[in-house]
Amino acid sequence: MVRRWVTQAEIDVGRRDGLSTADRDEIVRLRKEVRVLREERDILKRATVFFAAET
């Protein structure tokens, strides 16, 4: 476990190639945002179908 922390610290300061902690956090945040946006889009699609069927 300590070895993994050291490796990640080296990546964060630029001594090694790889995803930095900040990059990983941003990817997680963006994936969550994409999931929410897709759910909202699907809800709006269903609402459009519902209201179109009523008229």
pLDDT beyond 80 at 37? yes
Reported confidence tier of residue 44, pLDDT bands at 50, 70, 90: very high
Neighbours of 20 (CB within 10 A): 14
Reported confidence tier of residue 8, pLDDT bands at 50, 70, 90: very high
Contact 20, 12 (CB under 8 A): yes
Task: Kindly state whether residue 2 falls inside one of the protein's structural domains.
Answer: no
Contact 29, 23 (CB under 8 A): no
Task: Kindly state whether residue 4 falls inside one of the protein's structural domains.
Answer: no
Task: Kindly state whether residue 28 falls inside one of the protein's structural domains.
Answer: yes
Query: Number of structural domains, the chain?
Result: 1
The whole domain housing 49 covers: 19-55
Reported confidence tier of residue 6, pLDDT bands at 50, 70, 90: very high
Task: Kindly state whether residue 39 falls inside one of the protein's structural domains.
Answer: yes
Task: Give the pLDDT score at 55.
Answer: 72
Task: Give the pLDDT score at 54.
Answer: 81
Task: Give the pLDDT score at 41.
Answer: 98
Task: Kindly state whether residue 13 falls inside one of the protein's structural domains.
Answer: no
Task: Kindly state whether residue 5 falls inside one of the protein's structural domains.
Answer: no
